[in-house]
Amino acid sequence: MAMEQKPGKERYRKRNIDLKAMRPADSEALVRGRIDVRKRMFTLGLTIGIALTGTTAVFAADFVKAYLYPVKLVINGQAQNMPPSSGVLNYNNQAYVPLRFVGEKLGVKVGYEEGVKVEDTAITLDTPNQGKDPERLHPPVLDQDFIAEASKGKLKGIEIELNTSKRELLKKWGVPDEIGEVHSEFYRYGNVTLYFSADDVVHVIDVKLDLAPAQVRTVMGKADYDGISEGGYEEYMLGYKAGINYLYFTFQEENSTSGKLRFKNPM
């Protein structure tokens, strides 16, 4: 009984044809066919290689090689501690700084407006008011409700409250007249200086006053503390507790005609 050949063996025999046993014309055609196949394979491979190389070149144009540049960043004479997520880069011998971090340190409002396409996306920089609004230069309004309002974190006559964020402050008052650091970062607007906590919210407000201690007592009543400051400074102080907050009126001496109000949350 004839054995049926398996297709795999037949294909195997066809792939191992003896060219010497074939007629010259047949062997020449077979060789030419193999060469043509190899040519087509080589051409296809070359085409794919060129396409991949071209694609890589197109995408490579959207990237640059930059290096971390561990220099100090000093703004208005104050060295800045940049967060780990920000840093200075060196590209093509030019230094690039984080725009939002530097902008907000300079009192500039930095925005990001995403468009449908990258070309439509915009980074905005705004410097409102330039610190010249006269309303924020007025002294606080001392009256019988002053302590009650202070217990809510507010100073009557000044619209900025304790725990106001730095971003909200810049939105309301614009660029400060001075930026500095004394124990913590501060912004000064005319006769008002605001100090920030580690999480960038207002936790101390200093205001210059054209009032004598006697005038403060007349309006505010008896102080919780009345005497020389115990904070290491030779100054006369009237202290009032306002809920969890404190009001400190400080003067060079008891007979001074002007001084400073410090409003703070000790938390």
Q: What is the pLDDT of residues 173-210, one digit of tens each?
A: 888 888 888 888 999 988 899 999 988 999 999 999 88
One-letter amino acid identity for 250?
T
| Same domain assignment for residues 159 and 244 | yes
Does 5 map to a domain? no
Order the strands of the 178-182 sheet from edge to edge.
178-182, 184-189, 192-196, 202-209, 259-264, 245-251, 236-242, 225-228
Structure confidence at residue 70 (pLDDT):
82
User: Which domain does 147 fall in, by range?
Assistant: 134-264
| Same domain assignment for residues 93 and 42 | no
Domain boundary among 126, 153, 172: 126
Does 113 map to a domain? yes
Q: How many other C-beta atoms lie within 10 A of the C-beta of residue 130?
A: 11
Does 196 map to a domain? yes
| Same domain assignment for residues 77 and 52 | no
| Same domain assignment for residues 250 and 192 | yes
| Same domain assignment for residues 162 and 244 | yes
Four-residue CA torsion sign, 205, 211, 217, 220: negative
One-letter amino acid identity for 184?
S
| Same domain assignment for residues 122 and 36 | no
| Same domain assignment for residues 147 and 113 | no
| Same domain assignment for residues 156 and 99 | no
| Same domain assignment for residues 84 and 204 | no
Mapped onto helix, strand or coil, the DSSP state of residue 127 is: coil
pLDDT confidence bin for 23, thresholds 50/70/90: low
Q: Which two tokens stand for residue 80?
A: 């800045």
Query: Distance (Å, rounded) from C-alpha 247 to C-alpha 238?
Result: 8
- In angstroms, how far is CA 204 from the centroid of its own chain? 23
Helix (H) / strand (E) element for 109: namely strand 109-113
Does 204 map to a domain? yes
| Same domain assignment for residues 179 and 232 | yes
Q: What is the pLDDT of residues 117-154, one digit of tens each?
A: 888 888 887 765 554 454 555 678 888 899 999 999 99
Domain boundary among 85, 108, 126: 126
Does 83 map to a domain? yes
Give the helix, strand, coil percentages of the chain, each rounded to 5.
30, 30, 40
pLDDT higher than threshold 50 for residue 19 = no
| Same domain assignment for residues 118 and 239 | no
Question: In total, how many domains does the chain have?
Answer: 3
Does 9 map to a domain? no
Query: Distance (Å, rounded) from C-alpha 127 to C-alpha 109?
Result: 6
Domain boundary among 105, 126, 147: 126
Does 12 map to a domain? no
What are 182's strand-pairing partners? Answer: 184
Q: In the 8-state DSSP scheme, what is residue 101?
A: H
Q: What is the pLDDT of residues 47-70, one digit of tens each?
A: 334 343 444 444 445 778 888 888
Structure confidence at residue 194 (pLDDT):
95
Query: Distance (Å, rounded) from C-alpha 141 to C-alpha 138?
Result: 9
